[in-house]
Chains A and B, each alone.
Chain A
Amino acid sequence: MTTLPLRVGGLSWRVRPRGVAVTLTGLVLLALLMALNMRIGDIELTLPEVVAGTFDPGSAAHFVIMELRLPRALTGALVGAALALSGAIIQSIARNPLASPEILGVTTGASVTVVAGVVASGSAYGGASGLLSTLGIPALALLGGLLGATVVYALAWRRGLDGYRLVLVGIGVAAVFTNLKFWLLTVGDVNDTSRAMVWISGSLNGRGWEHVTPTALALAVLVPLTLLGTRSLDALRFGDDTVTALGVRMNPARALMILAAVLLAAVATASAGPIAFVALAAPQIALRLDRSGRPPLLCSAVVGGVLTTGADLIARTAFSPLELPVGIVTAVLGAPYLIHLIWRSRK
């Protein structure tokens, strides 16, 4: 039996023990990685020092933990979860394991506006400590992500939304945006564009509470809404006629879930830049661990958090004192694992 009925009064659910086990294991792993992230760095801390630093404002480690490491690790976990959840939704709707928020124009759209903003205003605001680097870039990224998604959506809509059509249009739009971004990078000032490049790779460097709070708030709203749509997502995997026959209002259901995916990806990108591969790989990794029919939402989010937090630990420490953008590590780390899982599941 792969599912167990859970009934309380008039309420009832089906629970997959395996899914619950995988999700809980992931959460434990995430906690361990967070703890490691608190300990390791330029200043090595013991676990008691970490605990003291977290709760005692007077302790020596307080600044390192509460101002540097914790907000950064939290941003990574939240952003990873948001990207993975977004990817899980899009892969389910497109019925295609290679679909990701990039396909929806979110990450590429955000890259264009951010690069354009940095290039246009670079010399005007000077160093990286200007207003644009804290509030401006996330706002630009959010705007660009939503604009990019709107363009893809408008072009893909034809008396309804078709998964394959969405993917094809998305790939085309992504190519246009990517080249637009490269063109902007070539015309920009070298100092500005190198700063933009770090952002484009997806970096958690210097992320503080001002990144944690908006991301956490957005997730607090979007995650429950997304989980409410789980049943629609299950139905939407069938052919269009079957979906309608089952009494699902297909286009509104699809549009709402895509909107949630777009917002999740846009918020994540605004906080940490377009971190590569998490949205693509995490749902597929979760799917194979969980062995359900489609990328599981909650489990994907946890896997996304684990993947990003683990990757950032490596990005911070592997080549110390040099720091890599986390996006480079997620790609290098996630890709072989995904290939391994696919290869193993074919046997």
Chain B
Amino acid sequence: MRAQAAEPDPQAANVRLRAAGVKLGYGERVIVDGLDLGVEAGTVTTIIGPNGCGKSTLLRALGRLLKPQGGEVLLDGKRIDRLPTREVAKVLGVLPQAPSAPEGLTVADLVARGRHPHQTWYRQWSSDDEGAVAAALDMTGLADLAERPLEELSGGQRQRAWISMALAQGTDLLLLDEPTTFLDLAHQVEVLELVRHLHQEGGRTVVMVLHDLNLAARYADRLVAMRAGRVIASGAPHEVLTEDLLREVFELDAKVIADPVAGTPLVVPIGPLTRT
């Protein structure tokens, strides 16, 4: 197997989140079986792979939205399913794929909801809450739209609002499941620039699932390529995103050249793999 960078040492102190031999699925349908993955502190890890390969399933398990049928997920070395979910929510923020909000909710209301794990019935709106919400709105450039209902926003703005909510949660670990779905290219870049900013300025650890390989290569420190529930390759983008890997993982004939802007690998498709 090429480009299989050594899996980070499980004992290493800088592994924040780790899947250890996880078996994942829905009922009888097993999607991922015996997968290992470690996420190091302060990195942006992007999971890529064809539709149905289990990348979103893996992300949901890492974010304790899906309970593994086997194996375990460790957050800072402790089993995530044994930690109080509220304590996990103070450390780990998850933005699910295509999240749904109640009708009529304003941006400010949505972002304020991110403070939930920090609140109790007698402390529902502290100045910390107010400050965190204002900061999250500022960071995503939504302060002017705060009182607007969510459904009046453009797709890119709405996605930024959801990211704001995760930011207001104040976690240094962020899991984003296809944060750029349904967005045009300009808005995809906008969202990913925000992610880069969060990582570089805020030192956050980010794990995301992306479909666009070129953007994935540009914005990730580490790419994880999955196929049929297994990790095929993992490492720096230029190590992972090779013509051989595209054939093996995506059944795609492609040329990989250097991105003239960022220097990262750029995939130029030729066509579907011709079977001989």
Contact = CB atoms under 8 A, between A and B. Distances in A.
Contact of A238 (B86, B99, B121): B99
Contacts of B60: 241
B94 A5 contact: no
A345 to B, nearest CB: 11
B100 A12 contact: no
Contacts of B85: 244, 247-249
A307 B84 CA distance: 42
A282 to B, nearest CB: 20
Contacts of A294: 102
Contacts of A197: none
A234 B113 contact: yes
Given A5-B130, A294-B102, A245 B96 contact: yes
Contacts of B103: 293
Contacts of B84: 247
Interface string B118-136: 0101111111011000000
B121 A246 contact: no
Given A13-B125, A241-B96, A245-B94, A95 B89 contact: no
Interface string B88-105: 111001111101111111
A228 interface: yes
A11 B102 CA distance: 27
Nearest to A10: B123
A231 interface: yes
B116 interface: yes
A218 interface: no
Contact of A95 (B63, B102, B109, B116): B102
A62 interface: no
B116 A239 contact: no
A244 B100 contact: no
Interface residues of A, number: 28
B114 interface: yes
B65 interface: yes
Given A5-B130, A239-B99, A246 B89 contact: yes
Contacts of B127: 7, 12
Contacts of A249: 85-86
A5 B169 CA distance: 19
Given A228-B121, A239-B99, A293-B102, A247 B126 contact: no
Nearest to B88: A247
A290 B64 CA distance: 36
A235 interface: yes
B192 to A, nearest CB: 21
Contacts of A123: none
| A interface: dominant SS | mixed
Contact of A12 (B95, B104, B116, B125): B125
Contact of B99 (A230, A242, A248): A242
A73 to B, nearest CB: 32
Contacts of B122: 11-12
Which of A12, A95, A247 is the most central at the interface, judged by chain B CB atoms within 10 Å of its CB? A247
A237 B102 contact: yes
Interface in A77-117: 95
Contacts of B93: 245
Contacts of A347: none
A245 B123 contact: no
Interface in B156-201: 166, 169
Nearest to B120: A231
Contacts of A344: none
A14 interface: yes
B117 interface: yes
A14 B117 contact: no
Interface string A236-272: 0111011011111100000000000000000000000
Given A235-B113, A242-B96, A293-B102, A247 B65 contact: no
A261 to B, nearest CB: 19
Given A238-B99, A244-B64, A231 B119 contact: yes
Contact of A247 (B86, B101, B129, B130): B86
Nearest to A238: B101
Contacts of B87: 247
A304 to B, nearest CB: 22
A346 B102 CA distance: 17
Interface string A317-331: 000000000000000
Contacts of B101: 238, 242
Contact of B100 (A6, A234, A239, A247): A239
16 contacts: A7-B126, A10-B126, A12-B126, A231-B116, A235-B116, A237-B102, A238-B99, A241-B99, A242-B96, A242-B100, A245-B94, A246-B116, A246-B169, A247-B87, A247-B117, A293-B104
A-B pairs, 3 with minimum CB distance: A247-B89, A241-B96, A247-B86
Given A245-B94, A246-B116, 7 more contacts: A5-B130, A7-B126, A7-B127, A13-B124, A231-B124, A246-B113, A294-B102
